[in-house]
Amino acid sequence: AESITYYGIWHGDRLAALSSAEQYPLEGHVELTDFATLPAYRRRKLAGILLRTMEDEMKQKGFGVSYTSAVAESYGMNISFARQGYKFAGRLKNNTQINGSIKSMNVWYKCLKKKTK
């Protein structure tokens, strides 16, 4: 069964940014997803901070692979994953409905475990 851990960045009593890690321990992978940042806090690289925090915690838990699907036209999210060393795996064209409109999604993944020789 999956387990979900939620992450947030607070500014005083206000939740400025959040995300979640959907963990699949039997399969050894985790989806880093549900990123959202209030408009007043955008362009501060908060998604990158959340991403690094989640990734570090998931490495400690022993997950082998992390991945996400990011809205293709969400440049900030795609840049955040690319900067963190995620590999682009392709685009799912017109695959997801978000707020009543169909969106294409970019798939990103990263191996969290170091390869052994």
pLDDT of residue 101: 94
Q: Hunting for tokens 């799912």 — which residue is that?
A: 92
Count the Cβ atoms, other than its own, within 10 Å of residue 65: 16
Domain ranges in the chain are 3-111
Count the Cβ atoms, other than its own, within 10 Å of residue 112: 19
Work out the mean pLDDT of the chain and round it to a whole number. 94
Task: Give the separation between CA 87 and CA 69, rounded to whole angstroms.
Answer: 12
- pLDDT tens digit sequence for 52-108: 999 999 999 999 999 999 999 999 899 999 999 999 999 999 999 998 999 999 999
Tell me which amino acid residue 20 is. Answer: S
pLDDT of residue 27: 93
pTM higher than 0.85:
yes
**Assigned CATH topology for domain 3-111:** Aminopeptidase (3.40.630)
